[in-house]
Amino acid sequence: MVKKIFSILAWVVTGAALVALFIFARENYLDTPIRSVNVDIDRNADSGFVKKEVVLADINTLCATAKIGTVNMASISKQLKSNPWIESSSSFVDLDANLNVKLKEYEPVMRVFGTNGQSAYVTAEGVLLPVSRSHTPHVLIASGNFNLDSIQFNHKLCDSIEVERNILNAKYVLEAIERNSFMKNNVGQIYCNGRNEFEIVAKGIGSRIVIGDTCSIDDKLKRLEIFIEQKANSLEIKSFKTINLKYKNQIVCTKR
């Protein structure tokens, strides 16, 4: 019986010692100063909207001399969310007292120029982004009848909002172009005219190419592809002022 009691006491003392050791180690860890800040940016190019040195400067302002236990992760998260080109972020302190910040940058697929001279980027998910003086990605341009006066950045386009409808439809045209390898390699620009009809600019063709609305857009682009390939070796295509595909199953051309 006595032996059993001593065994239980030994386990209790050992457990208490381990708890005390854990508390001591934890307090010692939390009292350790941050040694370095590492920023990792997830993007498909070497450079982008988000500048590592700017992120480092902002974070160092918040925790340059901080100890691990006093690092305010909520403040860091808030600071990162204020950057309109950061899609998501996470941060943590490792066992070596390094603050690690991981960012995912938005990737635009189109730049829209409005009637008032303003412009904005659009991502594949339909998120609107502001332009940047420090970075200009190579994306397809959409210009013309786009009103950018009342748009809000960092939210998704909604087809129920009139001011954004043309931008959303331009994105539909872009997606159709991306699905057609021939058009993807030959379309240089999207234009929205005063009747809210879409036109495209094709490389090597001086004609106005009228798409119309986004209805049956894949079929329209396929007909245009076949038409261009058929006329590729002919001087006739250079005589067309307008190539109009907005009519069902037709291509209507007007000469200069």
176 shares a domain with 127: yes
242 shares a domain with 144: yes
- Per-residue confidence (pLDDT) for residue 10, from 0 to 100: 52
Which residues face 120 on adjacent strands? 112
> Which of 33, 50, 52 is CA-nearest to residue 98?
33
Strand pairing class (198-202; 187-192): antiparallel
118 shares a domain with 92: no
Domain with 95, as residue range(s), is 36-105
7 in any annotated domain? no
- Per-residue confidence (pLDDT) for residue 56, from 0 to 100: 86
139 shares a domain with 98: no
181 shares a domain with 65: no
- Per-residue confidence (pLDDT) for residue 42, from 0 to 100: 93
CB atoms closer than 10 angstroms to residue 165: 16
Per-residue confidence in pLDDT tens, the chain, 256 aa:
555 555 555 555 555 444 444 444 444 545 577 788 889 999 988 889 999 988 888 887 777 557 766 777 788 888 889 999 999 999 888 878 888 999 999 999 999 998 888 899 999 999 999 999 889 999 999 999 998 887 888 888 876 666 678 999 999 999 999 999 999 999 989 999 999 999 999 887 888 899 999 999 999 999 999 988 888 777 787 788 899 998 888 888 888 7
101 shares a domain with 115: no
178 in any annotated domain? yes
Judge whether 135 and 48 are in contact, CB under 8 Å. yes
- Per-residue confidence (pLDDT) for residue 4, from 0 to 100: 58
Give the count of domains, the chain: 2
* Cβ-proximal residues to 190 (8 Å cutoff; 6+ apart), any chain: 110, 140, 141, 142, 143, 170, 173, 174, 177, 198, 199, 200, 201
